[in-house]
Structure 1
Amino acid sequence: MPESETSTEHEKTLNLANKNVSLKRTLGLFDGICFLVGSIVGAGIFVSPTGVLEYAQLNVGVTLCIWAASGLLAMMSSLCYAELGSALPYAGGEYYHVKRGLGPLPAFIAIWTLILFIRPASNAARALTFAEYATQPFYSGCPAPELLKKIVALAVLWVLGIINTLSVKMTTWVQNVFTLLKMLALILIVICGLKELGGKTEVPGHLKNAFSAEAPNAVQIAESFFQGLYAYGGWNYLNYIAEEIKNPSRNIPLCTITAVSAVIAFYLLVNISYLTVLTPKEIVSSAAVSVTWADRVIPTVAWIIPVSVAISIFGALNGGMFMLGRLNYAGSKEGHLPALISMLHVNHLTPAPAIILSTIIASIFVIPSDLLSLTNYFGFSTWLLVGLTVTSLIVLRYREPDLPRPYKVFLPIAFGVVLVAAFLVLAPIIQSPKVQYFYALLFMLSSMIIYFPFVYFKLRIPYFDAITCYLQLLMEVAPTDIFEDAKRK
């Protein structure tokens, strides 16, 4: 290599090394609330509250109780996470807390499952659902071509990936705007529903005698509960971005309580609005409840609801990609992923390599979309991780009693969450044992094939450092500031 080129490369390396590179605490209280609400409220409440009602045997009273109970469990769990996030406000969320409380091997199994399957598959499913609603208006009366939907899904993934790579401020702005838009749609549904209820001469029979239908059995209640919990998915995302929240000891608990409480209230009110206009049988037979509701209540502007569904999915996908980038970043900082992934762009101060990696994996899931069907059998692993995280909270209470805890959850709540998580892990496996659950468990345990040689014994791959250096210069990324790393330890 000519001397001039060598000198240029050396100057670039020096410039990167001299940068003060670290994640910045730029997200305030409002940003945190919008991030959490926007991540929880996706397509579920607009499209398919049918699952809860169907498994509850069309019993309206039981259905509303299950929505409230699902929200209560999400609140209890999020309060446990609020203690961990305010005491250990670092990126990585559950992964970091499990590593701190239970050790590196359970944490590695968790991050292996999360970054290679659960989170990318979730983002791919959201992208495909967005594509479904974005393309359907152009194909009235017939389904949109699968190829077109996949192209749109890939496009939205990479647009959001680029936004997340370029600027935290831009990503936050997108999340805030789309959260406000989807909440306006929910407010519209609630107000119109209450107006319909107030204008009726008599309360609909299924609301007046809410518990008159046949009561579901224990198995059906469990299935209905699973459906409700799915709609609340995303309540745990705030801890993944704790390293970027201002005054985390105050804002994390406040964001958590405010956001989850608001979602519970809106979910109950929206369901009451649906039940005011539609009968339980009409809701169960509808492919998209909110669209059927809009055709009945606001037929002249019914297009608002499909647009709102697309907006809601877009915002939830943005939050999911923002969170997943931080999970990859944290795994790399703790030595469980290649060092390049923990580096930040020197100008934008975003975990660009981590975001690019998560976008590539999600894109792979979009192409052969039949892979997404496998994610149903990984549902138990989500609550397994919740159980491990809350167990870490209990362990840290006794192992590190002097750890500053600005917010402390009532300890029996933590034990209750662990017991419920154990039930949610075991129930689907015991209730309907399938070979797919064995494959999911085998996939999780296969992480040890990577862990022991490359993490535990620190086996080095030839030329890997040279490739890392080249990619670092190409992407203009640098390791995080040494002082920030020291504060984590």
Structure 2
Amino acid sequence: MGENLCEENKNGNSKMQLKRTIGYFEGVCFVVGTIVGAGIFVSPTGVLKYSLLNVGIALIIWTACGIVSLMGALCYAELGTALPFSGGEFSHIKRALGSPLAFVYIWTAIFNKPASNAARALLFAEYATQPFYGECPAPELLKKCLALAVLWFLGILNGRSVKMGAWVQTVFTILKMMALSVIALGGIVLLIRGRKENTVRFENMFSSEIPNAAQLAEAFFQGLYAYGGWWSLNFLSEEVKNPSKNIPWIVMTALPAVTIFYLLVNISYLTVLTPNEIISSVAVAVTWAYRVIPSVAWIIPVSVSVSIFGALNSSMFTLGRLSYAGSQSGHLPIIISMLSVRYWTPAPAMIFSTVIASICIIPSDLIALTNYFGFSVWLMIGLTCTSLIVLRYQEPHLHRPYKVFLPVAFAMVAISLFLVLAPIVWTPKVQYIYASLFMFGGLLLYFPFVHFKIHFKLVDKITCHLQLLLEVSPVDYRNE
């Protein structure tokens, strides 16, 4: 599968492989930029709503979600330093639990992740166009065209230059964190002034009704959704400089920083708005801005667009690496695993993932269906943490520059199992059955085309033509 079907690439003694261009600072910006999307700006109401407006419990849940995300990221850090290859969860599941489960993961991700990117692009288009239409809704066609333009701009950008993609991510992460800092510092200033209307929500934080177990679990779901993306670093392990040192430090910097910012921002919201105002607001940060800094309140809506753009850039970047790794393992067409001979980037993988995301933009129902694949995210996280435990016993002599405390991995497996089963048990819907059938239905393709390697010569001809058209070459695998 890995042979060159056309003329061999001739680059002297240089090896065709991804280059290590992501340093510590770029890595921190990448993780933070992936986690911090529109949610914390637009509508952080879910945690407060399901906490029954109990401010103290809501803040504890935000903290607990940050701790769980850090635990998961530390588990991934061990895997990323021991096996520093592109593909994230796919690579680890394949190594520890076998090829079939890895195929189920990539089969699900090929549908779910591009649809999520399409949703982000449409949300960006919504916020970018709305100022020009005032209270009237922007035309759907305009939003879809802008969403497509953004997808292809980022797809081409990341397909041409890893450094440029990382630079864009760094700039947009700094911009969105500056906006969060404005909100956080504004709250701190108001609290220091000590006015009664700003501090009243914190005087008896736990005085409201205590939520039951089901409501606490739902609030936990909402909080963890806002931390989504903490697993993204492992998708570019192959491109991180000195991964054995940088990956753990990136994780231990990024996750605590996001947790602290999330807490400060939520406290700031509560200094200005009542809990009822927060859960009824469509865009909490915008409402906050018009109350506190009305003369420059436009900064926050712009920051929402910036935040979405940055999160979309990192998501596009990671999805390309996932497709690239899947193709290297023979789970996707070989052309996707090739690198551009001009830019030394996985350009075919970026094109592949961008095309699928573009298709998802056209029908709105397709994006809506991705909501029912939410449990699959935690299923794969659970399988990845299980992979860590299995590898500890299967490969005890594997070089591990960083080792997480093993009970942390067991706790993550238990949490993942709960988060997979809870929505199915509490709110059973037929869509969950369809999603499960789709996930494991991928095995119908796995056994003939991957396991038994059924092959068609026509595919070789198509691959050859695409290789010449795109000017790409097979990689030289690392020996690390």
Q: Name the structure 1 match of 2:292.
A: 297
**What fraction of aligned residue pairs are identical, expressed as a percent?**
65
CA contact (8 A) 2:21 2:241 kept: yes
For 1:160, the aligned partner's letter is: L
Task: Give the one of 327, 338, 346 matched to 1:343.
Answer: 338
Which amino acid is the alignment partner of residue 101 of structure 2? P
- Residue in structure 2 matched with residue 234 of structure 1 by the alignment: 229
The Cα of 1:125 is off from its aligned counterpart by: 1.1
Distance 1:83 1:127 in 2: 32
Query: Which one-letter code corresponds to 2:276 in the other structure?
Result: K
Identify the match of residue 138 of structure 1 among 120, 132, 145. Answer: 132
Q: Post-superposition shift, 1:462? A: 3.4
Residue equivalent to 1:65:
60
Letter in 2 for 1:296: R
Which consecutive unaligned segments of at least 5 residues does structure 1 have?
1-9
1:104 aligned partner, one-letter code: S
User: Which residues of 2 match residues 272-287 of structure 1 at below 5 A?
Assistant: 272-287=267-282
Give the letter aligned to residue 32 of structure 2.
V
The offset of 1:284, in angstroms, is: 0.5
Structure 2 match to 1:5:
none
2:210 corresponds in structure 1 to 215
For residue 415 of structure 1, what is the amino acid of its counterpart? F
SS class of match (2:53): coil
Aligned: 1:464 with 2:459: yes
Contact 2:9-2:473 at 8 Å conserved across structures: no
Amino acid at match of 2:48: L
- Measured after TM superposition, the shift of residue 181 of structure 1 is 0.4
The 2-side partners of 1:207 and 1:365 are apart by: 44
Does the 8 A contact of 2:73 with 2:231 survive in 1?
yes
For 1:405 and 1:139, the matched residues in 2 are separated by: 55
Contact 1:377-1:440 at 8 Å conserved across structures? yes
| Distance (Å, rounded) in 2 between the aligned partners of 1:290 and 1:142 | 21
Gaps of 5+ in 2: none
Q: How does 1:355-370 map to 2 (within 5 A)?
A: 355-370=350-365
Q: How does 1:310-329 map to 2 (within 5 A)?
A: 310-329=305-324
Partner in structure 2 of residue 171 of structure 1 = 165
Contact 1:340–1:468 (8 Å) recurs in 2: yes
Residue identity opposite 1:165 in structure 2: G
Match of 1:126 among 100, 120, 127: 120
Cα offsets for 1:361-419 (capped at 9, x unmatched): 11111111221111111111100000000000000001100001110000011000000
Partner of 2:349: 354
Deviations for 1:5-33, whole angstroms, at most 9, x for unmatched residues?
xxxxx9x9344576631100111100100
8 Å contact from structure 1 (residues 13, 473) kept in 2: no
1:152 aligns with 2:146: yes
CA–CA distance in structure 2, aligned partners of residues 414 and 477 of structure 1: 39
How far 1:304 moved relative to its partner?
0.2
Deviations 1:423-475 (A, max 9, x none): 00000000011100000000001101110000000001231101101100000
Q: Please give the secondary structure, in 2, of the residue aligned with 1:373.
A: helix
| Superposed CA offset, 1:144-171 (max 9, x none) | 1111111111110000001011111111
Contact 1:16 1:478 in 2 (8 A): no
Matched, 1:193 2:151: no
Name which of 328, 332, 354 aligns with 1:333: 328
**Whole-angstrom distance in 2 between the partners of 1:65 and 1:47:** 21
User: TM-score if structure 2 supplies the norm length?
Assistant: 0.97
2:93 matched residue in structure 1: 98
Task: Indicate how the Cα distance of structure 1 residues 271 and 347 shifts in structure 2: closer, same or farther if over 3 A, else same.
Answer: same
TM-score, with normalisation over the residues of structure 1? 0.95
Deviations 1:63-99 (A, max 9, x none): 1011011111100010000000011000001000000
Matched residue of 1:13: which SS? coil
1:368-407, aligned counterparts within 5 Å?
368-407=363-402
Q: In the alignment, residue 324 of structure 1 is paired with which amino acid?
A: L
State the secondary structure of the residue aligned to 2:457: coil
Give deviations 1:37-67, integer Å, cap 9, x for gaps: 0000000100111111111111111110110
SS at match of 1:463: helix
Residues in 2 aligned to 1:400 and 1:384: alpha-carbon distance in whole angstroms: 23
- The runs of at least 4 consecutive aligned structure 1 residues that moved more than 3 Å come to 14-19
1:67, 1:40 → 2: CA distance?
14
- C-alpha contact 1:21 1:479 (8 A) present in aligned 2: yes
Contact map agreement 2:51 2:219 (CA 8 A) in 1: yes
Alignment size in residue pairs? 474
Give the direction of change, closer, same or farther, for the CA distance of 1:442–1:14 in structure 2 (3 Å limit): closer
Native 8 Å contact 1:81 1:239 kept in 2: yes
Task: Determine whether 1:475 maps to 2:475.
Answer: no
Query: For 1:363, what is the secondary structure of its paired residue?
Result: helix
Instruction: Supply the distance in 1 between the matched residues of 2:461 and 2:377 (Cα, whole angstroms).
Output: 37
Aligned to 1:451: 446
Q: Residue 24 of structure 1 corresponds to which residue in structure 2?
A: 19
Which residue pairs with 2:264 in the alignment? 269
Equivalent residue, structure 2, for 1:3: none
1:200 Cα deviation after fit? 3.4
Partner Cα separation in structure 1 for residue 61 and residue 102 of structure 2: 32
| Residue in structure 1 matching 2:200, options 180, 205, 210 | 205
Decide whether the 8 Å contact of 1:123 with 1:317 is kept in 2: yes
| Residue equivalent to 1:7 | none
RMSD in angstroms over aligned alpha carbons? 1.3
Distance between the aligned counterparts of 2:128 and 2:456, measured in 1?
A: 44
Structure 2 distance, partners of 1:32, 1:399, is: 30
Residue 91 of structure 1: SS of its match in structure 2? coil
